[in-house]
Structure formats: structure tokens, C-alpha cells
Amino acid sequence: MLDKNGIAKRIAKEIKDGYYVNLGIGIPTLVANYIPEGINVVLQSENGLLGMGPFPFEGEEDPDLINAGKQTITTLPGSSIFDSAMSFGMIRAQKIDLTILGAMEVSEHGDIANWKIPGKMVKGMGGAMDLVASAKNIIVAMQHVNKAGESKLLPSCTLPLTGVKCIKKIVTELAVLDVLPEGGFKLLERAPGVSVDFIRNATAGKLFASDDVPEMVID
């Protein structure tokens, strides 16, 4: 199985040269550390930054430079800082080529729930609803199962929805999966040492998988 950094490394392979990319809170923020060499991308943070770099080394943090998850970050030469109104103008105008989000649940139809757990305090829904409504392409970075071992890839989401039929690809600690237009998850790759049967048992939603699914190549 992959750890969180392994998930981020695999997702980084999906980023193409020239992309403008929004990184959500959680695992997606780690993707900034694994952008392939020779790839020129611009990372956007919805609180008002274009040109986000990797996380700073300990002792080099600037408390005035944070991402949407309130983590300290770095900027790259040519970066730009602006207000959140302009940031969401970029998002709603579909200027972002790829959005990478975390999720608590994803349905086999591409629905996503990632902003609220009933009964728990929420400071705000954040910008995820704007992102899933506007993004050209969305990849979800998430754990395949919850702490109780229950699948988070479901026939239908049980938590309040963030967006409907908007997710195209999912990367978990176990697998890379596409969400099919007609519904269901298609297994594209499996984590090193993880069997197709193990992934099938960990997926509550409809799963389509051949017997010769290749292992992920991380490095």
C-alpha cells in the first residue's frame, strides 16, 4: 500500500506541461513536492496565489505565506498574490486545467462528498463546491477505506455532497481508478504488492477490473 506521499507522487505523474493546477487541502498539497523535472506548471491556491512552490524547510517558514489549508508554503519566481475574489474568478471562468482534491466519499457515478461530516464542527465549506462545478478535470486523492476498514468508494455517497457526477479519476493507497460515464469504477493500476481481489473487497461501489491490472510505477 502507498502512504500519503506515495499517493501524491502518483498523482504528480498526471500533471502535464503548461497546466494551471489547484491543490486542495490534505494529501493534494503534497503534490507540490513531486512535480516532475522539466515540467512547467503553475500551482494555484484559492486564497489568492499563483506560482506556489514546495513546502519550506524547517526554520525557513514565512507565516505570511500560506495555502488554503493554512500551511506555510514557498513562492516561485514570477509568482503573483491577489485577493480571493480574483482567485475564484479564475476558478469560475475555468482557467484551471486540473484540480486535485481530497474526499471523504466518492460514488460510482462520480459524486463527491468532502466538506462536512454531520454532527461535527465545520469552519466553512471552503472553495470545493466552486472547484468541482468549474474544473475541466478533477482527480481525487483519498484513502480507499476509513479507519473502521469500510470502503469510501461507494454506490452512493452517504455524506452531504460537494458535487455531482464531476470526478473522473481517483488515486488511493491501493489503486488508480477511473469513474466510468455509465457508472462504476474501472481499475487502472494497483499499488505494489496489492492484489486485484484485495481492491475489489475494499470497494463497495461497482468495480470493473481485469486479471492483469499493472502495478503502479511511482519513481
Catalytic residues: 46
Cell of 6: 506515495
**In the chain, where does DSSP find H-type helix?**
4-12, 27-30, 84-92, 128-134, 196-201
CA 187-188-189 angle, 5° bins: 105
What percent of the chain is helix, strand and coil (3-state, nearest 5)?
20, 25, 55
Cell of 113: 462528498
CA 39-33-14 angle, 5° bins: 50
Query: How far apart are alpha carbons 180 and 17 in whole angstroms?
Result: 26
Could you tell me if 103 and 179 are in contact, meaning their C-beta atoms sit under 8 angstroms apart?
no
Residue in the structure block whose three cell numbers are 481481489: 197
Residue in the structure block whose three cell numbers are 458535487: 163
Strands 42-45 and 49-52: antiparallel
Cell of 70: 493554512
Cell of 49: 496565489
